[in-house]
Amino acid sequence: MARYGMTCDQKLCVTCNACVLACKNENQVPEGAARCWTVQEEKGAFPLLSIATRSERCNHCENAACVSACPTGASHYEAGGIVVVSADKCVGCKACILACPYEARYVHPDGYVDKCTFCLHRVKKGLDPACVSVCPTGALAFGDLDDPTSTVHKQLQARKAEVLKPDEDTRPKMFFLT
């Protein structure tokens, strides 16, 4: 069984936001909401400065707080560990939004809670998620973490990576290469 994950190479990412816009097109994300976003983390004082640059989204955690918190099971794990919301089962209680340490979810105008799906509909056709496809710097990669031939697997073997808020014990599957 595949275990899907994504890497963002902070060395390459320039926070251009092509990923944000590609995702908005691909998934018809409503105005005012974003399934992914970019961050510039600035450290230091002039002239000794550094910036960490990355593109963040739902981390498709292996121990997802949102899945635990959903009373109807609308938030669930799909094949490969992709966390998805079944809109037809979502009652709009928003417990998942409050449970998520990463604030990755939003309320869709149609009344259900929505978020990044790792473009499951594309993955099923053997394509990369829209954000990974568009990225002009090649900072994003997606694949089966357990497949030794996948880019993400090889990157995580070769390079140091971090996850967001490791203390939350959510076991995210979105990794940021340093």
Partner 1 sequence: MKISLDAFLDRTQLKSLPSLFVSSPADPPHVRRGKRIAAVLLVIALLGAVGAVTALLHGHHAMGTTSEVPWGVLIATYVYFVVSSTGLCLVSSLGHVFGFKVFEPIAKKAIFLALVTLTVGFSVIATELERPFLLAKLAILTPNPTAPIWWMGALYALYMVLIGAELFFLFIEDHRRSKIVGAISVVAALAAHSNLGAVFGLSHARPFWYGPLLPVYFIASALMCGAALIILFVWLGDYFGNDRKVRPENEPLLNALRQLLALFIGIVAFFTIWKLITGVNGGHYHKYEVTMASLAGPMFFSFWVFEVLLGVVVPLVILFTQAKKSFGALALSAALPMLAVFVMRYNFVLGGQMFSLKPVHGHLGETFHYQPPFKGSVEGFLPYTPSLTEVLIVVGAIAAATLLYIGGAKVLRLNPEVRHG
Partner 2 sequence: MATPLNRRTFLRISGATVLGGLAVNAGLMPSREAQGAQDTSVIPDRVVPTMCELCFWKCGVNAYVKDEKVYKLEGNPLHPLSNGKLCPRGTGGGIGALYDPDRLKKPLIRTRVGGEEKWREATWDEALDYTAKRLNEVKDKYGAPAVALFSHGQGGAFFKTLLKAMGSKTIVAPSNDQCRGPRETGFELTFGAALGSVETIDIPNSKCVAFLGTHLGENMHNTAVQDMSKANANGATFITVDPRFSIIASKSKYWLPIKPGTDTALLLAWMNVLITEKLYDQDFVTNNTVGFEQLAEHVKDKTPEWAYIETGLEPKLIRETARELAKNAPASLVHPGRHVVWYGNDSQRSRAIAMVNALLGNWGKKGGFYLPSAMPVKGYPMPELPHGEEAKPRVKFPFATLPCAFDACEASAPAADDPPRIHAWIVYGCNVPLTLPNPKRVIEVMQQLDFVVAIDTMPAEVTGYADVVLPENTYLERYDELDNGPYRVPYVSLRQPVVASLYDSKPGWWIAKTLATKMGLGQYFPWKDAEEYLGKRLEASGLSFADLKRNGVLVGKPGPLYATEPAQTFNTPSKKVELFSQQLADAGLPPMPVYEAPEEPPTGYFRLLFGRSPVHTFSRTTNNRKLLEIVPENELWLNTEMARQLGLKNGDRVMMENQDSVKTGPIKLRVTERIRQDCVFMVHGFGREDARLRGGYKKGAADSRLVTRVKRDPEMGGTGMNVNFVTLYRFQEA
Chain positions contacting partner 2, by CB under 8 A: 9, 11-12, 14-18, 20-22, 24-28, 31-32, 40, 42, 44-47, 49-51, 53, 78, 84-88, 108, 110-112, 114, 117, 119-122, 133-139
| CB 167 to partner 2: min, Å | 27
Q: If binding is defined by CB under 8 A, does position 77 make contact with partner 1? A: no
β 106-107/161-162 pair status = unpaired
| Whole-number Å distance between alpha carbons of 103 and 94 | 12
Closest by CA to 80, choosing from 136, 135, 4, 164, is: 4
Helix, strand or coil, per DSSP, at residue 19: helix
| Whole-number Å distance between alpha carbons of 112 and 133 | 27
> Residue count at the site for partner 1 (CB under 8 A)?
43
Q: If binding is defined by CB under 8 A, does position 100 make contact with partner 1? A: yes
Helix, strand or coil, per DSSP, at residue 55: strand
> Which residues of the chain form contacts with partner 1 (CB under 8 A)?
15, 17, 20, 33-34, 37-43, 45, 65, 68-74, 89-95, 97-103, 105-107, 109, 111-112, 168-169
